[in-house]
Amino acid sequence: MFSLLRGHPVRAWLYNPLLFSFLAVLGAGVFVRLAFGRGLEVRLTRRERALGWTTAFVAFTVNWFYVIRYVG
């Protein structure tokens, strides 16, 4: 976060890619909501929801292995 506040967004993304990718998507959603007055909605079937949670868990785990291995 300090890298982002110091004006180094690429370095901040390299430190923790999952967090900053999530923040970028969240920021885009807030922008769409404020600019157009419409919210983004995702409707998933039961199977897609299970796959989504599994994918999120794997992405979270891989992200932390990356952070621990390459960032220290």
Please give the tally of structural domains in the chain: 1
pLDDT tens-digit profile, the chain (72 residues):
678 788 888 888 888 899 889 989 999 999 999 999 988 888 999 999 999 999 999 999 999 999 999 887
Question: What Cα–Cα distance (Å) separates residue 59 from each residue in 3, 62, 64?
Answer: 22, 5, 9
Q: What range does the domain containing 66 cover?
A: 2-71
Q: What is the pLDDT of residue 25?
A: 92
Residue 69 has which token pair? 């291995």
pTM for this entry? 0.72
Structure tokens at 11: 């370095």
> Among 9, 34, 33, which Cα is nearest to 23's?
9
Question: What span, in angstroms and rounded, lies between the C-alpha atoms of 56 and 49?
Answer: 10
Contact residues for 4 (Cβ-Cβ < 8 A; gap 6+): 12, 20
